[in-house]
Structure formats: C-alpha cells, structure tokens
C-alpha cells in the first residue's frame, strides 16, 4: 500500500513554485494541489507577467486542478500554499469546496484568517507548515526589491 506523504513533502513542492515566482520577479508564493498523494496542479504568482491582479498562485492552481479533474469541485483535494490565502483566494477556495488548505506563512495584513473570511464549512485548515522557509523567501524578495528601487 502506498504510504501517505506528510505536509512537509508537499509544502516543499509549493516552495519550489514560489522560487519560480521569485526568479520571475513575482511575489514568491507557490501552490500545489494534491489528491490521493499525487500533485495534480501547480501554480505560482503571475500577477506581473499576466498584468492580472487575480493571477495568484492559488487561483492558478485551482484552475489547473479543475481542468485536470474535469469539474469545478475539488473535493478530496488538498491545497498546499506558501502564504495564507487572501480573501479573494479564500472565496475561490470556498466555491471549489476544497477539502483541506495547508499554508506556510501567515499574512497578518491580508490573510483570510486574520480577516475572518470563511472557507467552506467542510474545509480543514492547517497553518505554519514550513513557515520559517516561506517567510524567509518572502523577506528576501522584498529586501531585494527595496534595494533595486
């Protein structure tokens, strides 16, 4: 029988996506969606490249997972994202009926938990997975950005 991977394994995959965003000059947030221990979708921020404020990592991953599954509901799926989802992404996650959301770093200014945005009642949320690594990447990005301007 296939052994389940732990949250750290899949959060490392999300951090790889965040690194891709960093290299593109995007805010380094990455996401993967998993079902049955298999990554079915990946995404990272593309707001600058696509000139689209809605092109967050979670939105990219939700679209890719829906396309993979052939439907709009992501029941039995888990989203791993390096930063706590914002209200917009939380709304999309609500409508997708995703089963589980696992995030790395908290977003105390715009995060859905701090703003008391509700996810689907059946969605389980776990935070703080590889929080230090996710936070460090974001800090490094903004320090670099400030030094370039």
Tokens 């039995």 locate to 76
Q: What is the set of active-site residues?
A: 58
Q: Is 44 annotated as a binding residue?
A: no
Q: Is 37 left (phi over 0), alpha (psi -120 to 50) or beta?
A: left
Does 77 appear as a known binding residue? no
Beta bridge partners of 125: 101
Give binding residues for Zn(2+) as ranges.
56, 86, 89
């Amino acid at each position: 029988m296939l052994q389940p991977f732990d949250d750290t394994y899949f959060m490392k995959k999300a951090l790889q996506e965040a690194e891709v965003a960093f290299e593109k000059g995007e805010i380094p947030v990455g996401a993967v969606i998993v079902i049955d221990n298999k990554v079915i979708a990946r995404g990272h921020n593309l707001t600058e490249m696509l000139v689209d404020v809605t092109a967050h990592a979670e939105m990219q991953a939700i679209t890719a997972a829906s396309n993979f599954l052939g439907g709009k509901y992501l029941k039995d799926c888990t989203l791993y994202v390096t930063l706590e989802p914002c209200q917009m992404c939380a709304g999309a996650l609500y409508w997708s009926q995703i089963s589980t959301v696992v995030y790395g770093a908290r977003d105390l200014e715009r995060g859905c938990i701090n703003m008391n945005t509700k996810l689907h009642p059946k969605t389980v949320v776990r935070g703080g997975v590889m929080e230090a690594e996710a936070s460090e990447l974001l800090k490094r990005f903004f320090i670099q950005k400030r030094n370039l301007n």
